[in-house]
Chains A and B, each alone.
Chain A
Amino acid sequence: MDCVIELKNVTYSYPLTTVPAIKDLSVKIEKGKFYGVIGENGSGKTTFCALLRGFAPSFYKGDLSGEVLVEGRSTLEYGPGELASKIGFVFQNPFTQISGVKDTVFEEVAYGLENFGVPVDEIEKRVVEVMKLTDIESLAEKNPFDLSGGQMQRVALASVLVIEPEILVIDEPTSQLDPEGTESVFKIISKLKEKKKTVILVEHKIDLIAEYADEVLVFKDGSLVAAGDKQEILSDMSLLEKGVALPQVAILGNTLKEEGVPLKYIPVTEKQAEEVFSELITGKE
C-alpha cells in the first residue's frame, strides 16, 4: 500500500500533565483514503490530529516518544511552512482558524495562498471556486468575525480546501451545522477522494461516517482500540463498549438479528438497510 503517514509507537503528553493523551499508538494511513476518526470526547482524537500536523509537539510542546512520519520523514524534521502546504488542518473551533488579520471572508480564504506566494490571478480563480463549492459566496464581503458559528465553520473549511493540500486533517467540521449543511460538507470532503487526496476526519455523526468514510479509527482513553474497514467495525455492537454509537440502521439490523431474523449482513448505511431488508421482505436474492 501507498502509505502517506505512519505513526510508530507514539506516546505523547501535554506539558504539566501526568497522563499521556496518546499511548503507544502505531498506525498507517494509506494515500487516497477517507478515514473517520471516532471515539468518546477526551479519547485523544484531537491530539491525534495535532500530532499528524506537527502542532504536537512543535506548538503545544510536551513530551513525544516514538515517531510521526509524513511521507517517510519525521514531523520534527519539517520546517513549519513545509508541513502546512502538505497537510491542510481544519480546527474544531472555527474561531481558532480565522486569521484575525483580514477584514473580509474573501481575503480570509485567500490568505493561505497569498502566504505561499501564488500569483494573484490564480488566487482569485481558486478562491471564487472554493467559495462556490462551500456555499459561502454571499458572505464574501462580510467580516469573518460577524458570522454565525455555522458560517464560520464553512469559511474555515474553504480556507483550507483552497490550498489543495495532499492530506486534509479535519476536526469536527459540522458540529454547528444543520443537517443539510452537514451533508453538503460530507459530500465536498468525499469528492476530494476523486483527486486522490487523503482525508482524516474527526466526527461524532456516525451515520454519515458510515456512508462516506472508507476506514475508521476508534480511540478510547488515548489508545487506538479498533482500526480498519468501516463495515466490520460499525456493524459490531461491541463498538458501544468503546463509548461510540452505532449507525441507526446497524442497531436496527442487530436488533432484528437478535430476535432471530436471518439477515444476510448487518447494514451500516441507509442504502444497505433498504437492500438487505427488502430482500427479506420480497424473498428475492
Chain B
Amino acid sequence: MKDLILKDVSFSYPGGFLAVDNINMTIKSGENVAIVGQNGAGKTTTVKMMNGLLRPTSGDVIIGDMNTKDYTTAQVSRVVGYVFQNPDDQIFHSTVESEVRFGPEMAKLSNEEVDSRVEYALKITGMDKFKEENPYNLPLSMRKFVTIAAVIAMDTDVLIFDEPTAGQDLEGNKRLSEILKELHEKGKTVITISHDMEFVASNFERVIVMAKKKVVTMGTPEEVFWNFEALEKAMLKQPYVSRVCRALGANGEIISMDEAVKFLKSRLKRNA
C-alpha cells in the first residue's frame, strides 16, 4: 500500500514567491483523482512535490513508508511518475520508441522486460504506429501521448498527468479515458490535473479543488460540482448538463449525460 500524504505542505520559489500555502491531502493507493482550479492556483507545484521534482519549503510529502525528504528525486520518481504539462519539457530523443525506451533501460531491467513494457506503453497510448517517427513531427496533442507512454513504461505505482486534455480532440479525449480506466484497473494511483470539467465529471472518483495556493474542498464529482461556494472560490463552473438541469430545478447529484436525460424525462412526465 502506497498512500500519498501531504502534511502541512508549503512551497516558495527561490525569490520568495509562495506557490502553495499549507495544504493537506491524502490520496489512497489505487485512487483515481482529479485536481482542478485556476491557472496559478498551485496545482502543478503541488504535484511536482509529489514526485520529488520540487521539495516542500515546509511540511512533509509521504509516499507509503517514504518521506520524500529522505530520498533523492531519482528514487522518488521510481515510485511516482510525472507527465509534464508541456511535452517539450520532457522529450529529448529522435524517435518515439527511443523516447519511451529510455526510462526502462536506465532502470537496468532485462531486455525482455524493457521490450514488453515499451510495447505495452506504445500500444495503450496508440503511439505504436508512430514508433519510428521523430516526436517533433507529430502535433503537440500527439506528443503529449509520447510523454504519457514514456511514463507508463516506467511502471510506477503512482502516475501524475498534468493537463493531458489540453488541445485534445474527441479521439484524444476518448483515448485518455481508456488509459485512465486501464491504469486504475491495474491498481495504479492516478492523479490528473485538468481544466475540462466534463472530462473530470466522467472520469474520476474524487476531485480536489484548489484556489489561491490552497485546497478549497475535496469530494466525489457529485459533491464538488454542486458545491457552489467552492466552485465560486475556484472560479469554476458546473459541467454543462448540470447547469441546464439546475436551471430547470434540479438540486444536486446530476453530473452526467445519462443522469441529465433521466432527470429531464421525469420532469416532463410529471407535467404531462
Interface residues of A (CB under 8 A from B): 39-42, 92-93, 148-151, 172, 175-182, 204, 207, 240, 243-245, 247-249, 251-252, 255-256, 259, 261, 270, 273-274, 277-278, 280-283
Contacts and interface: CB of A to CB of B under 8 A. Distances in A.
B198 A274 contact: no
Contacts of A41: 139, 141-142, 167-169, 171-172
B170 to A, nearest CB: 5
Contacts of A274: 244, 247-248
A233 to B, nearest CB: 15
B171 A243 contact: yes
B111 interface: no
Given A180-B38, A244-B170, 11 more contacts: A41-B171, A92-B167, A151-B39, A175-B166, A178-B195, A179-B195, A181-B38, A240-B170, A261-B268, A277-B264, A281-B268
Contact of B244 (A172, A249, A259): A249
A39 B171 CA distance: 11
Which one of B141, B248, B264 has the highest number of Cβ atoms from chain A below 10 Å of its Cβ? Answer: B264
Given A261-B268, A277-B248, A282-B271, A178 B37 contact: yes
A175 B86 CA distance: 11
29 contacts: A39-B169, A41-B142, A41-B167, A148-B39, A148-B40, A176-B39, A176-B85, A178-B39, A179-B197, A179-B235, A180-B236, A181-B39, A204-B168, A240-B170, A243-B169, A244-B170, A248-B241, A248-B257, A249-B244, A252-B257, A256-B261, A259-B265, A270-B240, A270-B243, A270-B244, A273-B244, A278-B247, A281-B267, A283-B271
A170 to B, nearest CB: 14
B interface residue count range (under 10 / 10 to 19 / 20 to 34 / 35 or more): 35 or more
Contact of A278 (B163, B173, B237, B248): B248
Contacts of B135: none
B140 interface: yes
A281 B240 contact: no
A2 to B, nearest CB: 32
A176 to B, nearest CB: 6
